């Protein structure tokens, strides 16, 4: 493994040139590689470039294998020039497309994708490929080398015919097809031209990307890709390979201080047992496909290979989730702790008092009518338990209560019911298999236990945690042993916020580089939460100043002054030309003066210089943080320099563009020299 390298991370779509100003495209990597080489960089890290359909998020994959056609350069597609010469309407459409999308602060993903597909379809229809079908020798040969494209193309064509609707809404006959049925559909003459169009798009994208990768390598640079761990539930893989996924579970994260109900990402979890039985073939093929382009890859949410937070598909939030795999408490063990069947029901099934709804409706009978929709009343008590037919909070949220209470009261009623749905101490995942709710300590049942009962259950929970660590390590060892050895790419893992003991040890055992974001590398459990000295960073890691989900360096400096102050105090010598006062008061004054100053190119350079000294093998900050060394490249509003704001879905996210063309960037000798001055 190469060591002590500096690179930069960038979304491909952010790059653009004077002649191709719409969106970054595969060929743009060539001129960007020239810039990186001139600036002394050794690695280009890209966000995922897989097909995401109508979703701008590169982490919402429509395919684990297919490339996003939005990155195809139309002007370099065979047949483009002839069509421009022979069809004035086509040329007019193309010219209008270019004119409408240049000089925009963010790019319009939906519009660009839609127009590009239309223009590419015109080229396809006018070429021999479109007329002669699979007899086109080049395309036929490419398809034979990329067999995944058949299922993908059938899926894409069906999705087009269903007006891009999720495959879960398709007719039953199209929702569930065997491999043999998909193959038969691929070969169906009536759809052959449409299927080949999607295969042709992938061949073009693959050719342009490979050509760019060859150029990047010729400049002596490495290319690092990004491998999202999860697939969209509405993806070609989830549709064509149902055995790979658990469609009845959704991945997410448990409740924490920032997310009181956890996060439900909506992506299906993996059926790791099926994958193991198949020697992890799907994952190996996925990595082998990526290895055509990349020298290294980032495994997103690497914790998910150890354990995933699995949420029932019927639930909205993540509170009723559990880890997969999991150690469990048997019912017999609860008996041994002194809990009988009635007490176990009390711990594992929410009990709702009539008053919880009556306090909102102010009507006893109406409260009964509402509760009767979802619950069964306990004889002789004003207490209810959810009926077996209620599988999750989605049913509560989607219920029509208009005839039973005032419209303004409906959201409050539903919230109370959904809150009670997660008001449990124990969660029964399977018959007589229980795990503690993540939020068990705030449950009504827990509060009613005496100290001895709480102590007994707590000891049981601690034992489960110990068993879980062993299960998680075993699973990750098996997966990493199988998939990381399948390719020569260097594996890296996104392990932010992971505090499970077995994770760093297992990653190290498999030579997987961790991720260190300098602003978050602190000793959080110690007084004052000091920053971890750069010399103490784990060598087997990638250090960076920001990530695509965080604020940029400029935003952090101007908006999070307490964090900035602590960072400056820990690295004062980088801000004062290595001059350090022996006087504590003078030192403190210097820290305050520097930390309170507005962000500047000098500050950006100091932070980058400091971060580059980390013992991590690679230093790969986002391109924006490098550009801050030249104030002419700053946008007026620092917020527009972000790539994504987690927890939001809008046209802003994932549509960042550079503040200048690549031609202007490579001519910026002052910036290039500053970047060359940053050394590991």
Q: Sort strands 426-430 and 433-436 into parallel, antiparallel or unpaired.
A: antiparallel
Q: How high is the pLDDT of residue 146?
A: 97
Rounded mean pLDDT, 593-599: 94
- What confidence tens digit (pLDDT) does each residue in 496-519 have? 988 899 999 999 999 999 999 999
Listed residue (580, 555, 556) closest to 567, CA to CA: 556
Q: How high is the pLDDT of residue 103?
A: 80
In sequence order, what are the residues at sequence separation of 6 or more whose Cβ sits closer than 8 angstroms to the Cβ of residue 588?
Answer: none
Residue 618 in 3-state DSSP?
strand
Q: How high is the pLDDT of residue 130?
A: 63
Record the tokens describing residue 134, joined without a space: 């699979």
Between CA 117 and CA 125 the distance in angstroms is 12
- What confidence tens digit (pLDDT) does each residue in 131-159 have? 665 557 899 999 999 999 999 999 999 99
Between CA 660 and CA 32 the distance in angstroms is 12
- What confidence tens digit (pLDDT) does each residue in 220-268 have? 999 999 999 999 999 999 999 999 999 999 999 999 888 899 999 999 9
Check whether 2 has a pLDDT greater than 90.
Answer: no
Rounded mean pLDDT, 340-360: 96
| Cα 670 versus chain centre, distance | 35
Long-range pairs, 75-84, Cβ under 8 A, ≥24: 75/20, 76/27, 76/208, 77/120, 77/123, 77/204, 78/127, 79/123, 79/126, 79/127, 80/123, 82/126, 83/122, 83/123, 83/126
Burial class (CB in 10 A: 0-12, 13-18, 19+), 567: buried
* Cα 583-589-590 angle, rounded to 5 deg: 90
- What confidence tens digit (pLDDT) does each residue in 89-98 have? 999 999 999 9
Rounded mean pLDDT, 430-439: 96
Q: Quick check: bond before 89 cis, omega within 30? A: no
Q: How high is the pLDDT of residue 257?
A: 84
Check whether 617 has a pLDDT greater than 70.
Answer: yes
Q: How high is the pLDDT of residue 284?
A: 98
- In percent, the amount of the chain with pLDDT more than 70 equals 98
Confidence of residue 584 (pLDDT cuts 50, 70, 90): low
Check whether 127 has a pLDDT greater than 90.
Answer: no
637 contacts 560 by C-beta, under 8 angstroms = no
For 467, other C-beta atoms within 10 Å of its C-beta total 14
| Cα 491 versus chain centre, distance | 17
Sign of CA dihedral 240, 226, 502, 485: positive
Q: Average pLDDT of the chain?
A: 95
For 589, other C-beta atoms within 10 Å of its C-beta total 12
Confidence of residue 577 (pLDDT cuts 50, 70, 90): confident
- What confidence tens digit (pLDDT) does each residue in 160-190 have? 999 999 999 999 999 999 999 999 999 999 9
Check whether 114 has a pLDDT greater than 80.
Answer: yes
């Amino acid at each position: 493994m190469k060591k002590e390298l500096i690179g930069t991370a960038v979304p491909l779509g952010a790059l653009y040139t004077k002649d191709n100003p719409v969106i970054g495209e595969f060929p743009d990597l060539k001129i960007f590689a020239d810039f990186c080489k001139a600036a002394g960089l050794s690695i280009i890290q890209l966000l995922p470039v897989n097909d995401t359909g109508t979703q701008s998020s590169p982490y919402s994959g429509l395919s684990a294998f297919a490339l996003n056609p939005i990155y195809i350069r139309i002007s370099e597609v065979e047949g483009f020039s002839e069509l421009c010469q022979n069809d004035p309407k086509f040329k007019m459409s193309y010219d209008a497309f270019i004119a409408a999308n240049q000089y925009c602060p963010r790019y319009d993903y939906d519009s660009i994708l839609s127009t590009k597909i239309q223009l590419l379809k015109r080229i396809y229809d006018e070429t021999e490929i479109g007329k002669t079908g699979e007899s086109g020798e080049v395309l036929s040969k490419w398809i034979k080398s990329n067999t995944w494209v058949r299922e993908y193309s059938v899926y894409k064509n069906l999705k087009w015919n269903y007006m891009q609707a999720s495959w879960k809404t398709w007719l039953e006959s199209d929702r569930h097809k065997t491999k043999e049925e998909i193959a038969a559909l691929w070969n169906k003459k009536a759809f052959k031209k449409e299927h080949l169009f999607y295969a042709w798009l992938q061949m073009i994208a693959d050719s342009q990307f490979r050509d760019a990768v060859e150029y990047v390598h010729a400049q002596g640079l490495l290319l690092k890709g990004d491998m999202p761990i999860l697939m969209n539930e509405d993806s070609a893989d989830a549709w064509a390979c149902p055995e790979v996924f658990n469609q009845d579970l959704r991945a997410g994260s448990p409740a924490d201080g920032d997310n009181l109900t956890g996060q439900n990402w909506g992506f299906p979890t993996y059926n790791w047992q099926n994958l193991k039985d198949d020697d992890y073939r799907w994952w190996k093929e996925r990595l082998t496909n990526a290895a055509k382009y990349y020298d290294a890859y980032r495994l997103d949410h690497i914790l998910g290979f150890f354990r995933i937070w699995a949420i029932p598909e019927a639930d909205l939030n993540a509170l009723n989730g559990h880890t997969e795999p999991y150690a469990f408490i048997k019912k017999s063990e609860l008996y041994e702790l002194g809990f009988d069947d009635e007490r176990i029901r009390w711990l594992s099934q929410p009990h709702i008092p009539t008053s919880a709804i009556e306090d909102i409706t102010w009507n006893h009978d109406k409260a009964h009518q509402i509760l009767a929709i979802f619950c069964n009343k306990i004889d002789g008590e004003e207490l209810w338990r959810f009926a077996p037919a209620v599988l999750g909070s989605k049913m509560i949220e989607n219920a029509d209560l208009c005839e039973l209470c005032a419209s303004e009261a409906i959201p409050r009623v539903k919230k109370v019911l959904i809150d009670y749905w997660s008001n449990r101490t124990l969660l029964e995942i399977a018959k007589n298999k229980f795990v503690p709710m993540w939020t068990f300590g705030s449950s009504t049942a827990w509060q009613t236990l005496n100290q001895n009962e709480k102590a007994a259950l707590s000891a049981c929970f601690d034992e489960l945690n110990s068993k879980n660590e062993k299960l998680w390590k075993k699973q990750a060892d098996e997966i990493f042993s199988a998939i990381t050895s399948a390719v020569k790419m260097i594996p890296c893992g996104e392990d932010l916020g992971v505090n499970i003991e077995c994770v760093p040890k297992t990653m190290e055992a498999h030579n997987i580089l961790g991720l260190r974001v300098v602003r978050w590398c602190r000793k959080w459990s110690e007084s004052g939460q000091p920053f971890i000295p750069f010399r103490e960073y784990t060598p087997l890691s990638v250090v960076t100043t920001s990530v695509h989900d965080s604020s940029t360096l400029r935003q952090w400096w101007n908006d999070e002054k307490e964090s900035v102050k602590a960072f400056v105090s820990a690295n004062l010598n980088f801000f004062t030309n290595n001059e350090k006062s022996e006087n504590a008061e003078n030192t403190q004054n210097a820290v305050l003066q520097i930390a309170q100053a507005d962000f500047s190119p000098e500050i950006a350079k100091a932070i980058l210089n400091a971060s580059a000294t980390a013992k991590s093998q690679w230093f790969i900050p986002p391109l924006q943080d490098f550009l801050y060394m030249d104030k002419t490249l700053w946008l007026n509003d620092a917020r527009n320099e972000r790539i994504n704001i987690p927890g939001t879905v809008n046209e802003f996210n994932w549509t960042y563009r550079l503040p200048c063309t690549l031609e202007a960037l490579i001519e910026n000798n002052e910036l290039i020299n500053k970047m060359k001055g940053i050394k590991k």
